[in-house]
Amino acid sequence: MAVTFLVVIFLIKTTSTSKNNGSSKGIAEENSLTYSNVALEDLVQRDTDHDGVLDWEEGLWGTDPTKKETTDGTPDGAAIAKLESEHGSGTEKTADSSGIKENLTNTDQLSRELFSTIASLTQNGAIDQDSIDHISNSLAEKIQNSAQRKVYTISDIKIAADNVQAFQKYNAAMDSIRKKYPVQGNTFSILQKFIADGENPNVAALGELDKIVKPLQNVINAIAKMDVPKSISPSHLDFLNGLEKLMENLNDIKLFGSDPIMAIGGITQYQASVTSLEKTLIDLAGKVKIGLKS
């Protein structure tokens, strides 16, 4: 299965030294799998005869990607639509306010992109070990470097004056939130249950992550509404975003049963998120301590 192939490639390549070099690529290219210096999406989206049917799709259905009508009088798009109907291979779609868009999970999207890329490279005679290495490295990097979906900015928090009273109020509010929303459970012990014997993941065990996610969401909501002394607002914001990133990782991990690629991304990012959150908390606590004494 495509999903299994993706997971295997990722697990093999997570030790790769390939990193995002931070070069000035466009957003679309940064979010695409890459082959050499060419965005694979460009190759995948190639439509030589400009008939609306991608080259790799034409190859799968036996039509000529250089002709709009492989069979005279019948557009390739119509011929392929008929074949798809006969084989029951229509794609499930969902409507939204912006029009019609495919309802795909992250795993579905990466699986399709990988499949279409392999098909395109095969048709172009470029599929070899080097191309496989480039694709798998790019796939691993894309999963590991997935962006935080919600990012709080300075406009999302309430700024207060810088005085002892403001810091006292802030410190008391933080303590109250901690006591009101205690986090139950341990992520690593839950993941150990999930891994089980290493052969058959216990997906049901991931349901226990709700004991952590739900109070964490309440903590985030409460912290976002606090009055924050101006001088510590950047540190407060870092802490808030660190909590958000951690929660997103946990929610992604919970999706293993339906979206394993998203879950793997959450698992691989989790420890880094914890480490980063610890650093921001230490920084914030130190500044609050100073503010209380000023």
In a domain, 266, yes or no: yes
* H-helix segments, the chain: 2-13, 27-30, 40-44, 55-61, 76-87, 106-123, 129-144, 164-180, 187-195, 210-224, 233-253, 260-293
Q: Which domain holds residue 54?
A: 2-15+22-144
Overall number of domains in the chain: 2
Are 99 and 74 found together in one domain? yes
| Domain end residue (candidates: 123, 144, 165) | 144
**Interval 229-287: pLDDT, tens:** 999 999 999 999 999 999 999 999 998 888 887 888 888 889 899 999 999 999 999 99
The verdict on residue 149 lying in a domain is: no
In a domain, 211, yes or no: yes
94 and 49 belong to one structural domain: yes
Q: Does 160 share its domain with 288?
A: yes
Q: What is the pLDDT of residue 81?
A: 81
Q: Are 46 and 120 in contact (CB under 8 A)?
A: yes
pLDDT at 98: 40
- Based on the domain organization, do 62 and 159 belong to the same domain? no
pLDDT of residue 100: 40
Same domain, 217 and 180: yes
Q: What is the pLDDT of residue 282?
A: 92
Q: Are residues 101 and 71 in the same domain?
A: yes
Task: Give the pLDDT confidence score for residue 58 in this predicted structure.
Answer: 73
**Is residue 26 packed enough to be buried (19+ CB in 10 Å), middle (13-18) or exposed (0-12)?**
exposed
Residue 249 counted as domain residue:
yes
Q: Which of 121, 144, 167 is the last residue of a domain?
A: 144
Question: Are residues 125 and 6 part of one domain?
Answer: yes
CB 212 within 8 A of CB 247: no
Which of 111, 144, 177 terminates a domain? The answer is 144
Does 241 share its domain with 189?
yes
Together in a domain, 46 and 134: yes
Buried-state track 71-108, b at ≥16 Cβ within 10 A, e below 16: eeeebbbebbeeeeeeeeeeeeeeeeeeeeeeebebbb
Residues 127, 51, single domain; the answer is yes
Do 207 and 140 have their domain in common? Answer: no
The separation between CA 141 and the C-alpha centre of its own chain, rounded to angstroms, equals: 11
- What is the CB neighbour count within 10 angstroms for residue 249? 25
Asked whether residue 94 falls in the same domain as residue 165, the answer is no
> What local confidence, expressed as pLDDT, does residue 259 receive?
81
Residues contacting 123, CB < 8 A, separation 6+: 55, 56, 59, 65
Write out residues in the chain with pLDDT < 50, as ranges: 1-31, 37, 88-101
Give the per-residue pLDDT at 4.
38
The answer to whether position 111 is within a domain reads yes
